[in-house]
Amino acid sequence: MTAAAIAKASAPVVDVIVESVLWDAAPDAEKAVCRAVGEAAHALGAAVDGRSLAVLLTDDASSRRLNAQWRGLDKPTNVLSFPPAPVAHETATKSLGDIAIAYETTAREAQSEDKAFLDHLTHLTVHGFLHLLGYDHEAATQAEQMEQLERAILRRLGIADPYLTHSAEEVRG
């Protein structure tokens, strides 16, 4: 089996749902999201073959509602990750969970941090995917581990270290 076949075999099925027309300004967003998830899964050697996840490309209003409902924070955020619901039977496709990314916050952060929009979107996708795999940044040691993984995955994608000039807190939302 070739390296490309191995990488493809380990990637989860990604269902990208574009909820907001604002994403029309980023026609390669879906491709960037799928590439980010695939590379992250491959880099981590994650056992995600046959599993799925949904990525919702939404806007700040929807992000704010989700953030208020699930985290008790009445403000939009860049990325949210939701663990999967319990599966009723073993034959069902097992979900890795869901990720929601807000267009306006992503665009605003990319501009203020002088980053390419798709690079920032890729970073947020990797960040959200790591959350679905159980990584967190509540404690300093957890944050450092998660940031190191993000750096390594983004480097594989040809994207510069997102933490070089900006604090990790800005990415965490």
- Binning pLDDT at 50, 70 and 90, where does residue 89 land? low
The residue ranges of every structural domain in the chain are 3-172
Q: Range with the lowest mean pLDDT among 8-12, 41-45, 75-79? A: 8-12
CA separation, residue 115 to residues 57, 106, 126, 154 (Å): 19, 10, 16, 13
pLDDT digits (tens, 9 = 90+) for 116-162: 999 999 999 999 999 999 898 888 888 899 999 999 999 999 999 99
Residue 78 to residues 50, 75, 89, Cα–Cα distance (Å): 28, 10, 33
- What is the biggest distance separating any 2 CA atoms in the chain, rounded to whole angstroms? 49
Burial 4-36 (b: 16+ CB within 10 A, else e): eeeeeebbbbbebebebebbeebeebbebbbbb
**pLDDT tens for residues 22-69?**
999 999 999 999 999 999 999 888 778 778 899 999 999 999 999 999
Whether CATH 3.40.390.30 fits 3-172: yes
